[in-house]
Structure 1
């Protein structure tokens, strides 16, 4: 088994592909599916993670490689990773044919359990191609249900990808997860378009997990934010093992309350809302457990604004005095 500490961080998307090819070794395979996509099978243990990601997104991670490799190392999982080098949404005949082949040859049946995983367009693909392995488990972070124009006339993003075909095989992702054992859909309810896509996934086997206001933790990607909060790997592992429950997820998610970037995002939201009382409450809560100069300054500023309005509560003076110690 290769230790993640020993891997050289890739400097380019070509390096990502080369690293995957190397990891496949003699027991797996690395295939070029077409000019834009590759598939790599790394055989280890009886648990198989099937993941989808464009190589630029992999490169954006701290280690520059797909998160599935971490599970190969930490859990001795096997990994089937499909790459894209552009915003294809994995809508290509070569990929359909590849998953048809994997099903027909019984590759998925050689593993005790299969987990499909992806983010964004990779989340779409994880849901769509999960039908290739009935009773698989699915973890999709902010997935699109489809970009078919007739179904998503409200979608204003991904303009260059709206011409892609979403009606043929492995097309409408919410239909494809109907055969999954469980499908967890992670999204930020404050991102309206992502919220609409998430709502298109429904059924007894679908669980929605809401993660609001994480944009301050990392630039824009929920998976990187969850990784920064030390949640992502645990969630992937528990969905894969079948032990994940919504209440467990939200218990882990509470870790954000001690995470500086998240708290600063929340602070800015109270300021933008023009609510000094909410700002004061948040700052007081943070200062109970942290020495945080920014929150101390904002607490005093909120107190001044409340005093100007004649609305300063009695408890606030005690909090300010305690924060000054």
Structure 2
């Protein structure tokens, strides 16, 4: 995908430097950067954060963990659930790319969940060769491409004529991509299938994880270990699939399993699962 040159049309975002913190306010987003080590994490908000957390003062998703690992961190904070379909946000990424910001790091990782997972995949061309770590991502909500996706009407109504609308195209520019999702979820599985564009895409299905993946890894107690391995590009899928067997003992797994049973019109099984999940 050719990167568009928007800077002649819009106000310059300002100079950036990998060694100095910065914050830029856009129409519907905030870019907030904390300088650290030679690995840069670009973390996008998921769709729940604009609903549940105040925009002003909101920390970057995963901030405590990423900064605790000594990484540099660029947070993309969303005021609304717009699936990052804003002209000035694309312009801002173009601006910092043109200044050589992403090239200042030896390792760049784009990450997020759901809405943020879509953005992590779609925006990967701004840092060719980067890693993408996406939890239950949408590949796109462009209506003529994914007409079967009906869970996010607010997202579907956004401007999908803007560039970087397809995570499947974006992932082609990544050096390595990890996709964590619940393969029992029909919608998430179909998006993961669209994103599987080459051998550099590593699918990590977690049956019964629900829409998110990260909460399940937290309940198992391996979120930090898995993320460290993915950031380094050294996650062993065999180890991963063996370790996530522990999900069967989590409350989240039983709740998700019960919901799947109800969706498939098996209320008796769902009731049994709920009893097991109870105190």
Q: How many residues align?
A: 248
2:246 is matched with 255
> Residue in 2 aligned with 1:205?
200
CA positional deviation for 1:159? 1.5
> TM-score of the superposition, structure 2-length normalised?
0.79
Does residue 239 in structure 1 map to residue 230 in structure 2? yes
User: What whole-Å deviation, never above 9, does each CA across 1:61-115 have from its counterpart, x for those lacking one?
Assistant: 9xx8444312334310110000112111001111101111121111011111000
Report the Cα distance in structure 1 between the residues aligned to 2:209 and 2:151, rounded to whole angstroms. Answer: 20
Q: Partner of 1:168 in structure 2? A: 162
Within a 5 Å distance, the mapping from 1:2-13 to structure 2 comes to none
Contact 1:44/1:72 (CA < 8 Å) preserved in 2?
no
Pick the aligned partner of 2:84 from 85, 90, 112. 90
Are 1:222 and 2:217 an aligned pair? no
Relative to structure 1, the CA distance from residue 111 to residue 260 in structure 2 (aligned partners, 3 Å threshold; closer, same or farther) is same
Q: Hey, what's the Cα distance between the residues in 2 that align with 1:269 and 1:173?
A: 27
Q: 1:211 to 1:221 in 2, by over 3 A?
A: same
Match of 2:43 among 51, 54, 57: 51
Is 1:28 aligned to 2:18, yes or no?
Answer: no
Q: Which has the higher helix share?
A: 1
Structure scoring higher RCO (CA < 8 A, sep ≥ 6) equals 2
- Residue 42 (structure 1) aligned to one of 34, 40, 61: 34
SS at match of 1:179: coil
How far apart, CA to CA, are the structure 2 residues paired with 1:176 and 1:223?
Answer: 22
**Structure with bigger gyration radius:** 1
CA distance in structure 2 between the aligned counterparts of 1:122 and 1:82, rounded to whole angstroms = 9
Structure-1-length-normalised TM-score: 0.68
Cα drift, residue 177 of structure 1: 0.9
SS in structure 2 at match of 1:140: strand
Give the Cα separation in 2 of the matches to 1:106 and 1:240: 21
Structure 1 residues 253 and 59: CA distance shift in structure 2, 3 A: farther
Structure 2 gap segments, 5+ residues each? 1-18
Question: Is the Cα contact below 8 Å between 1:48 and 1:79 reproduced in 2?
Answer: yes
Shift of the alpha carbon at 1:264?
6.5
Once the two structures are superposed, residues 220-246 of structure 1 have per-residue CA deviations (whole angstroms, 9 ceiling, x without a partner) of 543223223222222221111111122
Deviation, 1:258, is 3.6
Superposed displacement of residue 147, structure 1 = 1.0
Gaps of 5+ in 1: 1-25, 283-293, 298-325
